[in-house]
A and B are shown apart, each in its own frame.
Chain A
């Protein structure tokens, strides 16, 4: 018995299954409960089994402007999240790749100083300077706009360091050869470095999309106009309205959380290999 137990590594499997259940069970409860009607949830608490109201609840949440806010549907909020995630990921890649290229491949008078300026942004997350950042964005008239939502988040230089590491690992011979063939800095960047960086870009894109989609504090400050609300932010309105209602629509709140969760989870699972590569190489 003992040998069987050991040979098949049952203890490992048991602990891992417990771990997987610890991660998945809470969300399963939320999902299963979202398919019941609110009456059942109020009487019997959260449900483990699947209810019959999946289509009704999710269709309602995605298309109706009621329940948690009066002005937007979950579909609009998901679109806003998509814009934030894509804009943030693309913006970050473009800005940090070009900056890293300048820092690694050029010797120019201000280079060293600028590198240190970029470096300091790693030290201070947005959360510690939210109020003055809010004031700056308000002074620039960028409240309730996609650019105000996205650009200040790009200020941190994690991506720049990620590409700097990568560019430094590209062999010098490539540049020598390119120079011999008469390629200028622009051509070298477009024709050689960009194609070489494809996987690195994809990996960073996946991580940054998830990070952008999941933002909370900054969109909370930036978007007083509900039509700019992201789906993650929609959770806050659910939370504020749910307990005040005579018949709290828990099911709709849960459905909203599931809708906020599914896109980033799909991306992480489908692109797992790139995602892990990006994660391990961006933070070191």
Chain B
């Protein structure tokens, strides 16, 4: 809100109207529907609807498959977050440390931001493809029984999905981390050079804490990317569904709701996801409020 404002005009109402209308129809209404449906049990033909309180929630949390999916998704998201942040940090530190030529590397890494998750899925699938994939061929030398089978084994399947997800995400993290590194005042770095001659020690004791706000922000971004946007990767690597145990939570919402026509169960899963995102956001704001800026 500005100190100086306009008053007594119909214009603000006209100007917020499009946004509010879109939000009401395509955000508030469906979100409310998800919550409402999660309390109903609908028979597969959609003929009857019974209010069942929290039965849908009870069902999903008693279902070992759902709990397994939940755990797998969390492990997957943590892996994607740390691997892609680690790789991006490595690259950003190198570019930041260059005296000359840093500008040439920037576009060579930045371009990868434009890779659609679905394209990343296609690339990962064929690199690991039993028919033509070079990585599959390298992992499973001829003449021996194959030990890496992403189409059959859920851990191998997660390896393929994680590779695609990390590969696509490095460049976003790189852009933010490089901007973060370059915003650290040179004077601080030069002072620390006198106190601590070891490059790696200096990184952990000076640079890393100064990057904390950026890193924290990126962790939230990456976690939510791994949770939600990787649907496209899973769905393109496994167009007929992943091997059992290799679905993510969002993938399961989609499969149960559309393929399985279990509206109540799928909605309950949606609501669980909503609560999860809410928690993530609250944590983010709590942390940001403490102002970890130096």
Decide whether A and B assemble into one complex: yes
Residues of A within 8 A of B (CB): 9, 12-13, 15-16, 19-20, 22-24, 26-27, 29-30, 33, 41-42, 45-46, 94-96, 98-99, 101-108, 110-111, 114, 117-118, 120-125, 127-133, 135-137, 140, 151-152, 154-157, 160, 168, 172, 175-176, 179, 184-186, 188, 210, 213-214, 216-217, 220-221, 232-233, 235-236, 238-240, 243, 248, 250, 253-254, 257, 260-261, 264-265, 267-269, 272, 275-276, 279-280, 283-284
Cβ-neighbour of A30 out of B87, B126, B175, B235 (below 8 A): B126
Beta-carbon contact of B23 and A136 below 8 Å: no
In the bound complex, CA of A151 to CA of B29 (Å):
14
Closest to A96 in B: B19
The dominant DSSP class at the B interface is helix
In the bound complex, CA of A99 to CA of B266 (Å):
33
In the bound complex, CA of A111 to CA of B11 (Å):
12
Beta-carbon contact of B134 and A46 below 8 Å: yes
Could you say which residues of chain B place their CB within 8 Å of the CB of A214? Answer: 114, 116-118
Residue B254 at the chain A interface, CB threshold 8 Å: yes
Distance from B163 Cβ to chain A, minimum over Cβ atoms (Å): 9
| Interface residues in B1-52 (C-beta closer than 8 Å to A) | 1-7, 9, 11-13, 15-16, 18-20, 22-23, 25-31, 33-34, 37
Could you say which residues of chain A place their CB within 8 Å of the CB of B258? Answer: 131, 221
In the bound complex, CA of A168 to CA of B23 (Å):
23
In the bound complex, CA of A268 to CA of B115 (Å):
10
Query: If the complex has contacts A132-B267, A136-B33, A265-B114, are A175 and B2 also in contact, measured as CB distance less than 8 A?
Result: yes
Q: What are 28 residue pairs bridging A and B, where the CB atoms are less than 8 Å apart in the complex? A: A16-B95, A45-B132, A46-B126, A106-B7, A106-B12, A108-B12, A114-B16, A117-B20, A117-B28, A118-B20, A125-B277, A129-B34, A129-B274, A131-B263, A131-B270, A137-B26, A152-B26, A155-B26, A214-B118, A235-B119, A239-B125, A260-B116, A264-B116, A265-B111, A268-B110, A272-B106, A276-B110, A280-B176
Residue B80 at the chain A interface, CB threshold 8 Å: no
Beta-carbon contact of B175 and A123 below 8 Å: no
Residue B224 at the chain A interface, CB threshold 8 Å: yes
Closest to B213 in A: A284
Residue B253 at the chain A interface, CB threshold 8 Å: yes
Could you say which residues of chain B place their CB within 8 Å of the CB of A95? Answer: 18-19, 22
Beta-carbon contact of A122 and B281 below 8 Å: yes
Query: If the complex has contacts A131-B258, A175-B2, are A185 and B9 also in contact, measured as CB distance less than 8 A?
Result: yes
Residue B217 at the chain A interface, CB threshold 8 Å: yes
Distance from A117 Cβ to chain B, minimum over Cβ atoms (Å): 6
Beta-carbon contact of A216 and B2 below 8 Å: no
Cβ-neighbour of A236 out of B91, B115, B118 (below 8 A): B118
